[in-house]
């Protein structure tokens, strides 16, 4: 039972003060992203540069245009996101060590962990939107060492775009759940401050 609790904490990034439904949703969203990166990342996102074609033979121009079009590979961005999330989840798991009952008397730490998770999810959603939502299938490039204006086209991006949408959808769900749990936590803290002695359901 304790082992399962630890795994749930690491996947959800929240402690025992969260509802079971919220922890299930957060764990599922994290697990889906992890499986997507492990099973499909090496194939769907690996050869993005190979599907980026430009009408030039100038050495180095193709790579420069690809870097301009896609400064951060989706696979790298989503891996970095999971690293941040698991680092936060590990801190939460270490904070909620079994034993002393001080855990349940510190709901402010629960709120701060939710806030941190929401910031990570929201920040990476914003970055993904800025980088990938407005990228056209055809683009022009004049980066050095290209000679003049170069036309480039993205081929075979449907699978990787679908996977990116899945990952971003999981982040959006996690963000909404974090907002819900943060609201519960703030309500509990405010009621506790006014002396009502509320207990989280």
- pLDDT: is 167 or 191 the higher one? 167
As given in the structure block, the two tokens for residue 23 are 């922890």
Q: pLDDT tens-digit profile of 55-111?
A: 888 888 888 888 887 788 788 888 999 999 999 988 887 776 655 544 444 677 888
Distance (Å, whole) CA 116 – CA 101? 23
- The mean pLDDT of 164-188, rounded to a whole number, is 91
- The mean pLDDT of 151-156, rounded to a whole number, is 80
- The mean pLDDT of 42-54, rounded to a whole number, is 68
Say if strands 138-141 and 150-154 run parallel, antiparallel, or are unpaired.
Answer: antiparallel
Q: What per-residue confidence (pLDDT) applies to 198?
A: 47
Sequence spans of domains, the chain: 2-48+75-97+104-137+158-193
In the sheet that 150-154 helps form, which strands lie side by side, from edge to edge?
52-54, 150-154, 138-141
Output DSSP code: residue 103.
G
CA angle 108, 167, 112 (to 5 degrees): 5
Q: What per-residue confidence (pLDDT) applies to 118?
A: 94
- pLDDT: is 173 or 197 the higher one? 173
Q: Which residues pair with 53 in a beta bridge?
A: 153
**Phi, psi torsion values for 140, nearest 5 degrees:** -110, 155
Burial class (CB in 10 A: 0-12, 13-18, 19+), 14: buried
Q: What per-residue confidence (pLDDT) applies to 189?
A: 78
The alpha helices in the chain, defined as continuous H runs, are 2-12, 20-39, 41-44, 61-69, 74-95, 107-132, 158-193
As given in the structure block, the two tokens for residue 97 are 């060590």
Output DSSP code: residue 50.
G
Q: What per-residue confidence (pLDDT) applies to 25?
A: 93
Q: pLDDT tens-digit profile of 114-148?
A: 999 999 999 999 999 888 776 667 788 888 888 88
Q: pLDDT tens-digit profile of 4-29?
A: 777 788 888 887 788 889 999 999 99
Q: Which residues pair with 154 in a beta bridge?
A: 52
């Amino acid at each position: 039972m304790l082992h399962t609790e630890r795994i749930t904490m690491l996947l959800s990034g929240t402690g025992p003060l969260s509802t079971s439904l919220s922890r299930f949703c957060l764990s599922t969203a994290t697990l889906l992203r992890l499986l997507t990166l492990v099973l499909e990342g090496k194939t769907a996102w690996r050869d993005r540069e190979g599907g980026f074609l430009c009408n030039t033979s100038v050495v180095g121009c193709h790579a420069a245009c690809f870097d301009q079009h896609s400064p951060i590979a989706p696979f790298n961005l989503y891996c970095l996101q999971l690293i941040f999330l698991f680092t936060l989840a590990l801190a939460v798991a270490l904070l909620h060590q079994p034993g002393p009952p001080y855990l349940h008397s510190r709901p402010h730490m629960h709120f701060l962990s939710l806030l941190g998770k929401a910031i990570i999810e929201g920040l990476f959603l914003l970055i993904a939107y800025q980088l990938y939502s407005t990228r056209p299938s055809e683009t022009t490039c004049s980066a050095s060492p290209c000679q003049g204006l170069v036309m480039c086209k993205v081929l075979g991006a449907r699978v990787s775009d679908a996977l990116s949408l899945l990952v971003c959808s999981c982040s959006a769900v996690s963000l909404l759940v974090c907002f819900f749990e943060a609201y519960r936590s703030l309500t509990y803290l405010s009621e506790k401050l006014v002396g009502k002695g509320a207990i989280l359901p």
